[in-house]
Amino acid sequence: MTSGYTRRFDAPFALARYRDGDRVTLGLVAGDRIRPLGPDELGAPDLNAFLAEPDWDRLGALANQDGPWSPLSEATLTAPVEPRQVLQTGANYRQHVIELVAAGLTQNTERTPEEAREFAARMMDERAAHGEPYFFIGLPACVVGDDEELVLPSYSEVHDWELELAVVIGAPAFRVSRESALDHVAGYTICNDITTRDLVFRKDMKEIGTDWYRAKNAPGFLPTGPFLVPAPFVDATDANVRLELNGQVMQDASTSDLLFDIPALISGASQTMPLLPGDLLLTGSPAGNGQHWKRFLRDGDVMTGSIQGLGTQVVRCIAEGTR
């Protein structure tokens, strides 16, 4: 499978990883071309070492030089990152959470829908002002490129999509302030946080609560990329997040609706555990997932996810055992 559909990103250049026989090679993408990046070109032994102290000027100079370029359309791109940790953020799009809370309130109280939304909005504003982000962890082994088909496990019929802006950590971050948090961002990429809905809550002991391990960590459940776009080229404060399922728009929102912005997320996550170069911090998903539409992923579905400035990923779904 080639990656000709993954061209669109707005930056002068970006990083990608692509398949070269049995190997995966780090590459520099500029326009419709890609070239390999070894330690000599990077000035670092590997990708994560480079991201710890990214020298974008060095790569910018390479992007304008002659060299071993090849057509991007002939490259099979895979996940552009190799994270050691994946942190995920829940309930972080303000309007989405307001809708969820209001729906629950109207089912259980005498409030009208308008009163329920107003109450939920006040709750979210109070949470943003005085609360903390909600994090859970994912498995780095689930991070794959869209060159791999998404195999839908046979143990459920309710596998769902959640397109998200993902922060790629640069310099290590441990107990950093919100004011200095963006100094620890190397770049951004796209993640689709696949979730098996009927495994989210434990049925055998409801007091335990959520089971994110089983619900979100099947093989391939974090399609990522195709590009790692340097932070200086991305306006992450107001980027469009859009997912189409078989050509139909399901999610369409802006990161300006984040309840906790990116500095708040980085600062909050770093209070517990150091964030390492190359780690992924997912920022949450807007309204419009399959649970909202009462339509879940099926064999043959194609998800096209794009985030403004970061390109487009195309994920093809197959039922387990069909191939």
Q: Are 241 and 165 in contact (CB under 8 A)?
A: yes
Query: 233 in helix, strand or coil?
Result: helix
User: What was the pLDDT predicted at 305?
Assistant: 97
Distance CA 260, CA 268 (A): 10
Q: Are 48 and 15 in contact (CB under 8 A)?
A: no
User: What was the pLDDT predicted at 94?
Assistant: 82
Instruction: Report the mean per-residue pLDDT for the chain.
Output: 92
Who's near 41: CB < 8 A, 6+ residues apart? 28, 59, 62
Pick the range with the lowest mean pLDDT from 9-23, 48-62, 117-131, 148-162. 117-131
Who's near 317: CB < 8 A, 6+ residues apart? 149, 150, 152, 297, 298, 299, 300, 301, 302, 303
How many CB atoms within 10 Å of residue 179?
9
Strand order in the sheet with 33-36: 70-71, 33-36, 23-30, 14-20, 77-78
Is the pLDDT at 117 greater than 90, yes or no? Answer: no
User: What was the pLDDT predicted at 5?
Assistant: 42
Tokens of 65: 């030089």
Local confidence band at 3 (pLDDT 50, 70, 90 cut-offs): very low
Domains and CATH numbers, the chain: 4-78 (no CATH), 86-92+134-319 (3.90.850.10), 93-132 (no CATH)
Please list the residues that pair with 86 across neighbouring strands: 138, 280
Distance CA 269, CA 135 (A): 7
Distance CA 25, CA 47 (A): 10
What does residue 300 show for φ and ψ, rounded to 5 degrees? 95, -10
165-175 per-position pLDDT tens digit: 999 999 999 99
Task: List strand residue ranges (DSSP E) for the chain, in order.
Answer: 14-20, 23-30, 33-36, 70-71, 77-78, 86-90, 134-138, 143-144, 150-152, 159-160, 163-169, 185-192, 195-196, 222-223, 229-230, 240-245, 248-254, 280-282, 302-307, 311-319
Share of the chain above pLDDT 70, in %: 94
User: What was the pLDDT predicted at 6?
Assistant: 44
CA 86 remoteness from chain centre: 10
Local confidence band at 265 (pLDDT 50, 70, 90 cut-offs): very high
Share of the chain above pLDDT 90, in %: 78
- How large is the angle between the packed helices 94-108 and 113-130, nearest 10 degrees? 130
Is the pLDDT at 61 greater than 90, yes or no? Answer: yes
Distance CA 237, CA 214 (A): 32
Q: What integer is the mean pLDDT of 74-89?
A: 97
Pick the range with the lowest mean pLDDT from 26-40, 51-65, 108-122, 169-183. 108-122
Q: Decide the pairing of beta strands 280-282 and 86-90.
A: parallel
